[in-house]
Structure 1
Amino acid sequence: MAESEKILLVQTSFLGDLILTTPLLAEIRRRFPRALISVLCRRELRDVLAGDPEIHEVMTYDKRGPRGGWTGLWRMAQELRARGFDMALSVHKSLRTALLLFLAGIPLRVGFRQSAGWFLYHRRPRRAAARHDVERSLSLLSAVEIDPRTTKPALRVEVSAQVRADVERIFRACGIRGDGIIFGVNPGSVWATKRWTPEGYAALIGRLRESYGGEVLLFGGPDDREVVERILDLSNHGGTSLVGKIGLRELAGAIERCRVFITNDSGPMHVAVARGVPTAAIFCATTRELGFYPYSSNAVVIEKALSCRPCAPHGGLRCPLGTEDCMRLISAADVMRGVELLLNRDRRRDAGGVDSCFPLTLGV
């Protein structure tokens, strides 16, 4: 394929999944420096890719909304066909994505062998279940004879000067001084069994304030408002809520202001990694073996060793056993230990220490 061709990457899943494909984008750009690279993602996530130097165009597909269904699939396929793409890569295993690219008539379609629509792809590398999702996505490159770099690729989310100015304005309006240490706390997740308890987060906030002072910022989307308010009540309002005050456009700019970001297994966890923020990730129903752990050496995974984990590939809406042990048995002291390890690791790095290549796991 000529270097000046048009290439499409399809990633229409959640926030974290989109961020985990940014190393793949960088590798495609390295191999095809003059290609026009487009990304097809969910409409509400397009701002996440704003300013990415590798991307020529961000297209959106509302696959489950009012423009979804078979009619929406056909319309999206015609829109892609009109763009005249020469190659498309899909990180999905769904029949819908394979059918979309087939109907778009893209002459070179690359997707995983395990896809339900494998027969609609021209080249079909195997998706290795035991690897990190970043590395699974990069394995698509083998089908187009691209050898990834041997160095560990980095996640990337751009933050513009304008976004930083907007975040500073929002912080001032919220009374956030920012002149001391800031801890970020993200208690939400799409899946209920990925969420650590409000009581645990409230106790953690108390420990952070007692040990370090500073400020605690609570992150979340509209669906997290209730849990954030409960945490604030339980912690005697020991933090400041950013729910409803920042959107996805400002999320990375706000997270990068944090000294440590404490989070459930969620999209904002990957945003923190992409911005180089030390990350304490609390894994409840999910495990790092699923391949979605923080792709960083400057991270800690806190989890409870239980034979019932993982109960589902993405967690579940409720605990199948009814015990919620994976959430309930992690204590504020366990998470605090992870935070302290990250802060001490920062000090060792400043002194010339060397980190491992993977996040540390604290089994508790």
Structure 2
Amino acid sequence: MKVKQYRKILLLVLMICAAILFGCVERALGRQLSTQQIASEWSAEDSYAQISCFFSKDAAVTKDYVIQLEQKLKTALQEASEDTSDVNGRTLVDCYSTKGELTLYSDRASITARAFGVGGDFFTFHPLKLLSGSYFDGEDLNKDGVVIDENVAWQLFGSNNVAGMHVEINGVQYPVRGVVKSDKGYFSDAADEEAATVYVSYEILEGGSGSSTGGMDSAAASTPAAGTTDSKGGSYGQAAGTTLDSYELLIKNPVQKFGFNALKEALGLDESSYEIVENSSRFGLMNRFTVLRNFGIRSMNTKNIVFPYWENRARAYEDLAALLLILELLCLVYPVIFAAGKIYWLWKHKTEIRQKLVQWIKVFVKELRIWMKHVKAQERPVKKQ
């Protein structure tokens, strides 16, 4: 074989290996985002779809709207002959959140941090790494727990192991249920994921009254009016009727796109006021082609929507996965051309190849017969003299 042919084969192998490598990295990206893998964790027996919806302030979506939304989705499941009794497993899991700012106090310091007011199963969709303590349930009747990240923990207490200690928000004492790790890295930094953050119930961020755990009676525990300041100069959360920024849904998906279409129909909002994403398929091959097709356009935000840090990070990973797909396809160009050239050569010399193949078969059959005769001759018994 000539040196030139060796080089072609070596280049072919290298291109195929590079394509496989880019493909593996591309598929690993989506698996790194725990917030995008909830459906796969629930889909061991039944098919589920994970869907996120992000609202503009103009949509004016509140907690009451979410309650109506849940009822519409359950009706859609019933019409699709799905059991919504939760006896054999939950057919619908959801959460909602909104972003604001709160000032937290401890015995030694204070900090004004980014705050997410959450409800429903928020930490099912956002399994943040716990450094101490546990999560709280957004539907907890007491609404008396907070989860802080390590930045807030260190500034307020000088330690991560502070679960069970108390912080003051809006003049009310709340126990720290848990401390979570802040993600670090290029995309996390760009998405503002490393900012000091506290997770509270939607009602706390909204500025309503909270239950005190510091021994105060109900009158003393009530939260002052929203928009005022406390004796230490801290702000008292958001105005009453705070609108939601996002709604996240995990729903039984008996047929493809059922959950996506059911949520879109149930929303009943102008499409300019929300952005809906099917997380469970966003890193699939067809979606990556969609990202490439709209690569420049998708960077233009024509809607008055500010994505939370987890969505910004996921969108960055989407773009990176799409670029890796381009590299993967480029690496496959030479193998495809090489294979096409070989196929063309075979087609061009098909008559000659067919003749050689027939001749080879004849020789093979002839040699096979000779070999079989030889074997039979060896198996014949030798006559005794």
Give the TM-score normalised by structure 2: 0.21
Looking at secondary structure, tell me which structure has more helix per residue. Answer: 2
Task: With a CA cutoff of 8 Å and minimum separation of 6, indicate the structure with the bigger relative contact order.
Answer: 2
Give the TM-score normalised by structure 1: 0.22
